[in-house]
Amino acid sequence: MAWKGEHGSAGEQFALALIGLFPIVAMVAAVLVQSKYVAALAQLGSLFERERVYDEHQSAVSGGESDTAAPETRFRASTVIRDRAESTAKRAVKAADKLYFVLGVLNVALTAYLVGAAPQYFHLWHTPKALFLVSLRWWTFMKEGKHWLLADFCYWANLIGLVFLWVFPSNALLFQIFFMVSNGPVAWSVLAFNQSLVFHSHAHMTSVFLHFSPIIVSWALRWRQPPNAAFVVCDTDAGCWRHPLGLWWDGTRYFYLPWIVGYYLLVYIVLGDFLKRNAYQTLFDRVTTSGPSAKIFRLLFRRSGVAGPLAQRAVYMSVHLVFGMVTMGLATIYWYSYFAHSAFLVTIFAASVYNAAGYYFTVFAQRYEREVAETVSKAKFQ
């Protein structure tokens, strides 16, 4: 590929920056379109109020006198109002999901284009999405009491990537740590948690983004930078060759171990009672109570005789550490091989697509109508 310059022309940078703002503009449009959905739910929420107004109208028309046919008439009218409101709300939910689906497909298409055409600018596409999607997740999780999930490992891994990109772009050690964690535990979490590229769900798309986009960033910076690029990914004295144990140990001691210790002390000891009292969810709660990992951890706790909450959490963090160290060991392979790294990137993406196929053809087909009905039903009582 022929590079036109160290950073490209000012026009190219401006155009790509505008492309990077696409997710924000698109999501604002989604909110505006979804206002129909809000209006429909509000219509449902005021259903009983409209029935009361209808009763008063009927009473005024009849002069306040009793009418034996009035109850039946009122019942038919309220049923019609309810059916129309539910139908409108269902159409609005489906319209919003269609919009999210379109945005999801466009996101994948533009991501693939940038990776192939201008990988040196991929960070301009990655950064605004990271900031917006994490902010959106924090806002939605706050309402559900799940915001402490944002203290988990993958969010910190994404953070150090942004710190490297925008604060310390010449710190090769920081990039190498980011490379190890993003191609290690962050990437393998796509398989461990069956993360799916479900286009109509911003929650699923955010999860896939947080675990897959850092791999692309690391790939683009490691292999597809032009000469004299602004980002320094290798030590100037030793070049890009490093002993595998050095790469692995730097990722472990400078990032993984500090996060493990800090997370355990803060979330489980300092804030343990606070989180339990407010029913705030952590990843430990999710992993040990649902999904295939729950059975494994229950068996592990039972076989090891671990019963106390802090001891169980210590076991969980130990498993987390072992998982991270093993997967970072595998990530050292990708540091040395363009082909292996590229194949790994494609494999993780294919896994998320495969998981999504299972969702769409089994879970989604059976549950979608029921989920829409449940959403509308809940709105009646808000």
**Is the pLDDT assigned to residue 64 strictly greater than 50?**
no
pLDDT at 3: 40
pLDDT at 299: 82
Q: 55-59, 148-152, 296-300: which has the minimum mean pLDDT? A: 55-59
Residue among 316, 324, 239 at smallest CA distance from 284: 316
* CA–CA gap between residue 232 and residue 173 (Å, rounded): 9
**Block residue for tokens 């106390």:** 308
Q: How confident is the model at residue 360 (pLDDT cuts 50, 70, 90)?
A: confident
Does residue 195 contact residue 354 with C-beta atoms inside 8 Å?
A: no
**Is the pLDDT assigned to residue 186 strictly greater than 80?**
yes
Q: How confident is the model at residue 70 (pLDDT cuts 50, 70, 90)?
A: low
Q: pLDDT digits over 3-16, tens only? A: 444 445 656 655 65
* CA–CA gap between residue 136 and residue 203 (Å, rounded): 9
* CA–CA gap between residue 219 and residue 213 (Å, rounded): 10
**Block residue for tokens 């001691």:** 253
Does residue 193 contact residue 326 with C-beta atoms inside 8 Å?
A: no
Question: What type of residue sits at position 267?
Answer: V
**Is the pLDDT assigned to residue 327 strictly greater than 70?**
yes
pLDDT at 302: 80
Comparison of pLDDT for 9 and 241, the residue scoring more? 241
Does residue 148 contact residue 281 with C-beta atoms inside 8 Å?
A: yes
Q: Where are the domains of the chain?
A: 23-117, 122-380
Q: What is the pTM of this model?
A: 0.75
* CA–CA gap between residue 321 and residue 148 (Å, rounded): 19
Q: How confident is the model at residue 238 (pLDDT cuts 50, 70, 90)?
A: low
Classify residue 266 by its DSSP letter.
I
The DSSP code sequence of 86-149 is HHHHHHHHHHHHHHHHHHHHHHHHHHHHHHHH-GGGHHHHHHHHHHHHHHHHHHHHHHHT-GGG
Burial of 295 (0-12, 13-18, 19+ CB in 10 A): exposed
**Is the pLDDT assigned to residue 56 strictly greater than 70?**
no
Mean pLDDT of 236-259: 88
pLDDT at 121: 92
Q: pLDDT digits over 259-290, tens only? A: 999 999 999 999 989 998 998 989 888 888 87
**Is the pLDDT assigned to residue 47 strictly greater than 50?**
no
pLDDT at 270: 93
Question: What type of residue sits at position 272?
Answer: G
Comparison of pLDDT for 176 and 50, the residue scoring more? 176
Q: What is residue 82's three-state secondary structure?
A: helix
Q: What is the mean pLDDT of the chain?
A: 80
**Is the pLDDT assigned to residue 350 strictly greater than 90?**
yes
**Is the pLDDT assigned to residue 32 strictly greater than 60?**
no
* CA–CA gap between residue 297 and residue 230 (Å, rounded): 45
